[in-house]
């Protein structure tokens, strides 16, 4: 696809990165393992090297005389070859290799015909070309460069560093462009810096992905020493250009890589570019979600080769540490290993406990913007937890969860919706209306404006609808979490997913639901991903208070859940809605959030109540008075 057809814009600020691409997840990923890939390669007499994330073998898609280096992802089977500039899924590669092995002799024309998009073999995207003329920074005088670096909030550095980065200025001189290079060393996009902000914006061509790589050994004539060889097999991963330049300026000899999407996502397309490194050190800017990102990325990269620098007030980032006069080389040498043994002691945990206490706000998780009072109870959204949402029939559970997830997605939480009860296009319509905050049918002239905003959010959708097997659903979730770094999975509803309802007969319905809960609990823990399950309640009489025992099924759902939320509809009796927090494993706070529903915008708004002591206190539930609407 031509890069000029579409630009995917992402923001990598000091706080986080946002992956701006919405996709529908296919319901049929292949149920294959690394063992299956190795077996096929062995059967075809193809030798391979078992790497950290990929199997490396010879590519038969290249010209018949000379073969290239083929990378096959050990988890998904996604393959890429730099020489013939081809990539695709395992099924396409397997099918093509079967065709090649069945023919005694393959002509060049036949090979080119096989290597087509129709057969699932895709060519690399073309190099990104901008219409605007860019001017290299390194060609300017030393004095001009020094002034520019100061204006763009960057550490002072040499011309050779700027040349290696491909740093350029636009015609106005207000923006600096740093090239992101793909696996075939072509420009895939740019990291754009502004004079007026410390935020960094990423521009990538459609289907493109790349990295900013600094190789210190290329800045000076190479010296034949073992130390230099070790340096080339070690890399430091950062999220901003300023951090990368600070590390070079401080004399770090390791390779330094700036990730394209910050802490939001690590695309599988760039994993082969990191395959040659035996040691990977994360040094991310101190912000909410960095440890979730580090755990997620290290699992994808092979945690045994991963290390991390724990930021504090003086070393909140490499740039901050450099500005404070810290020794960055020493700090990197003291980075802690990600992979730990099965048994530990408080001595090993001491620094982690201190870090949590010093950064309590970040440990609590991502705060909701539309429901401030919910933060008082749950403190925030945290990965690795299981939340159960239930509530009265027709109270608006799906609509509430739509707004709840939209709030988090706008803050960079990669979200996967499994809507088994309503079609994806209806869910998307609700999300779009809530994002707009106005009735869109009456404002269709603004449809594209809000649709573009929704498309840029890191929100994905399963193609499932209605009953599906648990194994099939879990297989897709594991695949999606690996590929898209999903941090929040929503299943709406559990009963529709399994075809279980209140009218189902026998104990089978409870046994099946318990299996579902156990599977999602294990998924949340194993993949450090927050799972929200929407579950219908038992049949209760109108007006009855809903509690933990009101959740449909056995007790396992509420026992396994970290949080249990109940949407209680009082509109016919007391004139309002309450979101009740019935269980909260993180801090134990329980209570309720009074809500009001706006039909035009499909949004729930939080009500401020008086007296404040009545929040969460059932005996005062009749005494509150509505004062004003927040959020």
Give the separation between CA 211 and CA 274, rounded to whole angstroms: 10
Give the separation between CA 121 and CA 205, rounded to whole angstroms: 20
User: 463: which 2 tokens?
Assistant: 């193609």
Q: Which of 227, 371, 295 is nearest to 525 (CA)?
A: 295
Give the separation between CA 136 and CA 410, rounded to whole angstroms: 35
pLDDT in tens, 342-360: 667 787 778 778 777 777 7
CB of 318 within 8 A of CB of 283?
yes
Give the separation between CA 609 and CA 611, rounded to whole angstroms: 6
Percent of the chain at pLDDT > 90 equals 56
CA torsion 137-318-186-262 (nearest 10°) is -120
Ramachandran class of 314: left when φ > 0, alpha when ψ lies in -120 to 50, beta otherwise: alpha
**Average pLDDT estimate for 68-93:** 89
pLDDT at 556: 87
Between 494 and 19, name the one with better pLDDT: 494
CB-CB neighbours of 218 under 10 Å: 12
* DSSP string for residues in 190-234: EEEEETTEEEEEEEEETT---BEEE-GGGTS-----HHHHHHHTE
What secondary structure letter does DSSP report for 272? G
**Average pLDDT estimate for 553-579:** 84
CB-CB neighbours of 263 under 10 Å: 27
Between 589 and 539, name the one with better pLDDT: 589
pLDDT at 219: 81
Give the separation between CA 361 and CA 380, rounded to whole angstroms: 9
Residue for token pair 């007026």: 196
Which phi and psi (to 5°) does residue 551 adopt?
Answer: -70, 130
**Average pLDDT estimate for 140-146:** 92
CB-CB neighbours of 21 under 10 Å: 18
pLDDT at 511: 84
Taking 60 as the threshold, does the pLDDT of residue 3 lie above it? Answer: no
CB of 539 within 8 A of CB of 392?
no
Reported as a pLDDT band with limits 50, 70 and 90, residue 414 is very high
pLDDT at 237: 98
pLDDT in tens, 491-534: 998 988 887 554 455 567 788 889 999 999 999 999 999 999 99
* CB within 8 Å of 605: residues ≥ 6 apart: 370, 595, 596, 597, 598, 629, 630, 631
* CB within 8 Å of 224: residues ≥ 6 apart: none
**Average pLDDT estimate for 418-429:** 94
Give the separation between CA 579 and CA 500, rounded to whole angstroms: 25
pLDDT at 1: 34
CB of 309 within 8 A of CB of 355?
no
Question: In which element (H, E) is residue 609 found?
Answer: strand 603-610
Between 616 and 304, name the one with better pLDDT: 304
First to last CA, the chain: 41
pLDDT at 7: 32
pLDDT at 12: 36
pLDDT in tens, 319-349: 999 999 999 999 999 999 988 766 677 877 7
Q: Which of 210, 209, 185 is nearest to 21 (CA)?
A: 209
pLDDT at 473: 93
Question: In which element (H, E) is residue 598 found?
Answer: strand 591-598
* CB within 8 Å of 211: residues ≥ 6 apart: 180, 181, 257, 258, 259, 260, 270, 273
Taking 60 as the threshold, does the pLDDT of residue 627 lie above it? Answer: no
> Within 13 Å, how many C-alpha atoms sit on residue 102's CB side?
6
CA torsion 483-409-27-511 (nearest 10°) is 110
Radius of gyration of the chain (CA): 27
Percent of the chain at pLDDT > 70 equals 83
| Residues pairing with 567 in the sheet | 391, 579
**Average pLDDT estimate for 252-277:** 94
pLDDT at 621: 39
What secondary structure letter does DSSP report for 623? S
CB of 324 within 8 A of CB of 315?
yes
Domains, the chain, in order of start with CATH, read 30-75+86-123 (no CATH), 135-358 (3.40.1360.10), 374-630 (3.40.50.300)
pLDDT at 229: 47
């Amino acid at each position: 696809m031509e890069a000029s057809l579409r630009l995917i814009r992402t923001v990598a600020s000091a706080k986080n990165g946002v992956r701006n691409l919405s996709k529908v997840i296919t319901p049929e990923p292949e149920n294959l393992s690394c063992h299956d890939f190795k077996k096929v390669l062995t059967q075809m007499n193809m030798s391979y090297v078992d790497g950290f994330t990929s199997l490396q073998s010879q590519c038969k898609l290249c010209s018949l005389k000379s073969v290239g280096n083929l990378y096959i992802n050990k988890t998904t089977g996604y393959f890429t070859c730099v020489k013939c500039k081809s990539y695709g899924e395992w099924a396409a590669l397997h099918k093509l290799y079967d065709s090649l092995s069945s023919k005694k002799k393959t002509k060049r024309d036949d090979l080119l015909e096989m290597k087509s998009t129709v057969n699932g073999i895709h060519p690399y995207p073309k190099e990104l070309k901008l219409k605007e003329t860019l001017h290299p920074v390194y060609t300017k005088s030393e004095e001009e460069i020094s002034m520019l670096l100061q204006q763009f909030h960057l550490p002072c550095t040499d011309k050779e560093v700027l040349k290696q980065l491909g740093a350029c200025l636009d015609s106005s001189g207000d923006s600096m462009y740093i090239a992101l290079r793909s696996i075939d060393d072509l420009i895939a996009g740019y990291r754009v810096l502004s004079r007026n902000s410390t935020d960094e914006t990423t521009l990538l061509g459609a289907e493109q992905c790349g990295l900013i790589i600094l190789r210190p050994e290329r800045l000076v004539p190479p010296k034949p020493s073992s130390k230099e060889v070790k340096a080339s097999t070690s890399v430091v991963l950062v999220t901003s250009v300023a951090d990368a330049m600070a590390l070079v300026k401080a004399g770090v000899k390791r390779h330094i890589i700036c990730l394209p999407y910050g802490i939001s996502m690590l695309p599988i397309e760039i994993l082969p570019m990191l395959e040659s490194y035996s040691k990977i050190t994360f040094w991310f800017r101190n912000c909410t979600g960095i440890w979730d990102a580090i755990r997620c990325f290290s699992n994808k990269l092979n945690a045994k080769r991963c290390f991390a620098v724990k930021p504090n007030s003086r070393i909140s980032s490499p740039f901050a540490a450099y500005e404070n006069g810290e020794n960055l080389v020493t700090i990197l040498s003291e980075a802690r290993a990600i992979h730990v043994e099965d048994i530990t002691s408080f001595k090993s945990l001491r620094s982690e406990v201190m870090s949590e206490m010093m950064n309590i706000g970040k440990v609590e998780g991502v705060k909701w913007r539309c429901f401030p009072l919910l933060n008082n109870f749950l403190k925030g959204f945290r990965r690795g937890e299981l939340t159960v949402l239930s509530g009265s029939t027709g109270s608006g559970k799906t609509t509430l969860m739509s707004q709840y997830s939209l709030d988090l997605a706008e803050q960079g939480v990669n979200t996967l919706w499994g809507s088994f009860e309503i079609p994806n296009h209806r869910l998307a319509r609700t999300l779009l209306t809530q994002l707009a905050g106005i009735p869109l049918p009456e404002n269709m002239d603004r449809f594209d404006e809000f649709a573009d905003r929704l498309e840029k959010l890191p929100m994905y959708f399963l193609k499932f609808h209605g009953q599906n097997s648990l194994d099939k659903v879990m297989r897709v979730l594991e695949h999606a979490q690996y590929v898209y770094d999903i941090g929040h999975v929503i299943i709406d509803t559990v009963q529709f997913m399994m075809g279980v309802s209140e009218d189902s007969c026998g104990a089978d319905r409870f046994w099946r639901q318990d299996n579902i809960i156990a599977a999602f609990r294990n998924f949340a823990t194993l993949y450090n991903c927050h799972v929200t399950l929407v579950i219908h309640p038992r049949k209760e009489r109108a007006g009855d208070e809903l509690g933990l025992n009101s959740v449909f099924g056995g007790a396992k759902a509420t026992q396994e859940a970290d949080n249990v939320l109940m949407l209680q509809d009082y509109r016919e009796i007391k004139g309002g809605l309450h979101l009740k927090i019935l269980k909260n494993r993180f801090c134990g706070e329980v209570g309720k959030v009074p809500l009001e529903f706006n039909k035009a915008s499909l949004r729930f708004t939080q009500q401020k109540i008086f007296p404040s002591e009545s929040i969460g206190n059932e005996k005062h539930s009749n005494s509150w008075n509505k004062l004003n609407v927040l959020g």
